[in-house]
Amino acid sequence: MALNKSKPIEPQGRGLKEEDIEQHNVLTVSYRPMAKYAWATGVAISRFLEGLKAGEVLGTKCTQCGRIAVPPRVFCEWCFKRSGTWIRLPDTGTVNTFSVSYIATDTTRLKTPTIPAVIQIDSAGNAGFLHIIGEAKPEEVKIGMHVKAVWVEPEKRKGSITDIKYFKPIE
Ligand SMILES: [Zn+2]
């Protein structure tokens, strides 16, 4: 058969529709992936999590520039040196920034909002971490507000950031 250059090639077949898949009009394979994840926390975060389990907030202090990191780091990013000293920090801090969220982690709407906030830990310079504010109404939360950790009971702690239930306002 001679190729007719003046006539465009018409594609054969048709596009798939959702019902083709649902009604098995096309070959499909169904499976449930057995995806399991493990994450190595590393030297610094492992010790930080062990500290939380013991009711302590641990950080590292760079022996060269004095920068405090909490959560701790093995290396100081400021001077590219190994962070030398482990220090125990207070479980109090200041609200650096916060948000009022009416959306749960599963995207459903919450009647009572959560208040995620970055807590700048006292004595740690500008270092801190993300947690949530409790025992306060959204309109009461302010940047610069002083807060204290409310811990999970010792026997129920798991070595997780959730060993701190939330941070509550203090005077
Ligand atoms: Zn440093």
Long-range CB contacts (within 8 A, 24+) of 145-150: 145/94, 145/95, 145/169, 146/92, 146/93, 146/94, 146/170, 146/171, 147/92, 147/93, 147/94, 147/95, 147/117, 147/119, 148/91, 148/92, 149/57, 149/91, 149/92
Residue ranges near ligand 1 (ion) with Cβ within 5 Å: 62, 64-65, 67, 76, 78-79
* Contact predicate 74/62, CB 8 Å: no
| Span from the CA of 120 to the centroid of ligand 1 (angstroms) | 19
Q: Which of 86, 92, 94, 91 is nearest to 55 (CA)?
A: 91
Instruction: List the pLDDT tens digit at each of the 171 positions of the chain.
Output: 556 667 777 778 888 899 988 898 888 888 888 888 888 999 999 999 999 999 999 999 999 999 999 999 999 988 988 867 999 999 999 999 999 999 988 889 999 999 999 999 999 998 899 999 999 999 999 999 999 999 999 999 999 999 999 999 997
- How many A from CA of 68 to the centre of ligand 1? 8
